[in-house]
Structure 1
Amino acid sequence: MFLPYLLAYGRTPWPFVSQLGNYLGALVNWVKLQNSSQTSEGDAAQEADELLFSIVGWHALTLPQNPAQLAEARMDMLAVLLAIGLDPKKSVIFFQEDNPNHTELAWILSCITPVGKLRRMTTWKARLATARNHPEEQQVQDALKDANSEVDETGLNAGLFTYPVLQAADILVYRATHVPVGDDQTQHLELCRDLADQFNRTYKSKYRMFPLPVQLNTPSSRILSLRSPTSKMSKSSPDAQSRILLTDSTAVIASKIKSAVTDSIQGITWDPVGRPGTANLLSILAACNGDESVKETASRYQGKNHGALKRDVTEAVEEMLKGPRREFERLKGDREYLRNIAREGAEKARVKSEVTMKEVRGRIGLA
């Protein structure tokens, strides 16, 4: 029987910290999972043995990076995770690159991964488009919808092509049983399960080496781009006005929301298809308030205009982010504390993963 390890998928350190979509869509739920100490599979709840959160620097290298900016970004990302409420006394928080067991297992898994499976992965195609600074164009949307779509592979490197295998290793090296990921990562989790099953069948023993991890569904808000409200809010978009960063000042937040794309229709109604920009602002407001549904929020604005809605969204976002922003600035100035947290987390991660790797090496004949 596998212990119910829960691995929260890692965050990639970009040259700027997390944006509102990440915060409301993932980070808030990570804190809730940590503090609830419960995971669920279907309707059955079970005690969580451990939660692990990683900052995935090796994944960042699949796209061009400025080394100095990357070094700064990884520490900033750690500060963000702590600022929003993750507690190193309750969870294991670490840099992926501080645990070489991830890459060792990734290589072993790559040796049993069919190239055809990787070629059908949609997200490397989207990331390749992102690298060309076209993250919101139809090319990305088509890639995400069609596993067999053809894309221009100019600039594709082996790391980007095979990074889904490293993602699988990130999970399996801890024998994680639950992974809280969004629908955009479902294909990656399916590959992870396939590779776990392939390893179990290839290197048989009295019991399975790896569990088949399941997706942990948690309520989350899908926050869209302020400038292109049919696409997700993205930290990699070339348009800085399209996203709200956790570190944005009150004035910057107000400016970005004021310039958010809406429509010319009078009144405020909930219509995600016909009025995506307006619906996005309502989603943000409902998520910030947290005590009512988006439809209930919309009903309160039936007789109001976009100006009133944008003003209230600005106030709600500022109120929600001011605490984490203040804590982030404090933590950012204490690099020694951050390094100690990362060092302690990496040691815990290495100890847990080494148990897995010792057995893996034995099963494949390298021990």
Structure 2
Amino acid sequence: MNAIRVVFPSTVNLLCVWHIEKNILANCKPHFESQEDWTTFLSTWNQVINSEDEQAFNQALNFVGPLYKEKEKVLCYIRNTWLPFKERFVHAWTENCTHFGNRVSSRAEGAHAKLKQYLQVSTGDLHQVKNKICLAIDNEFNEIKTQLSSERIRVPHKCDNYFFKELITNVSLFALRELLKQYEMVKYGTMRSTCTGHFMASMGLPCAHKMISWKGKVIPLEEIHTQWRIDGRVLVVPEVGETNGGEFKRLVHELEDKYQEWPLSQKECVQGKISQLINPSIPLVLEPNILPHKGRPSGSKKGTTSTRRNASKFEIQHESVAFVEVLVIIVEHARAKVRQM
């Protein structure tokens, strides 16, 4: 977050609400005696996160304090760890920025998982890793092209009406489904009386309140954010030299002009370097030098090739709880056997 604040000062940096919930689970659940109390607390905390405006946020927060005043460690953890960053995960603030529905980091983690399927092991050399990454990118690119071609010819049944005329085959299916939800709110009268503006601000799509003004017309294509437009997307890989061919020729001409002015010794040196580039005797991409180290890092396993990350605190907590539950079942089963005897 500190780096983003310096390098991309105008960027809105959101926090993953899923990971926040898991951190709450790992640090707060041990302070609750029963599952029912914990479920009630989690529901109350979610009301804080889902607050639609600052006033609702303050009301929900003021409700949490007196209700759990005996859980001082829980309140202290929330107050000191998460509330200073409320603008990064509470709806009242996050729904005013364009995040296209991404409030968790699952898409990035999914991309990591897919890449690990290609890498398979953590001990591949530089050449193997480079080839596997290129293969993963090529396959992903082809999948996206196939999906894009499919969406340009598919017409969702429920969107096959005059209101969506300009959007069909020009907007992604995901965006059409989101627009259909808003349209059905207008159709069945389930929309709210006042517009918060959150849907339009966060998704880049017109909301139900906006659609009312277009009754009897069509949704204008220019009202759709470019994120959801597929009519202008061109997925073509340029041939090598297409993008920088002019720049390369300019450099060659400049080198040729300079070459005429250089002394013979410098000309021979340049000729040698150009010859090495054209016919390299050794590969241009080399393995990094292996430096001696003081031994295996503490906690690592000998001979492991797994790409699996270390477990998070909430995962360790979950495994511990699961182990205890299994242990209780075994003990109860043993007691039942003793009674039968």
Q: TM (normalized to structure 1)? A: 0.25
Higher strand share: 1
Higher helix share: 2
Q: Which fold has the larger relative contact order, with Cα–Cα distance below 8 Å and residues 6 or more apart in sequence?
A: 1
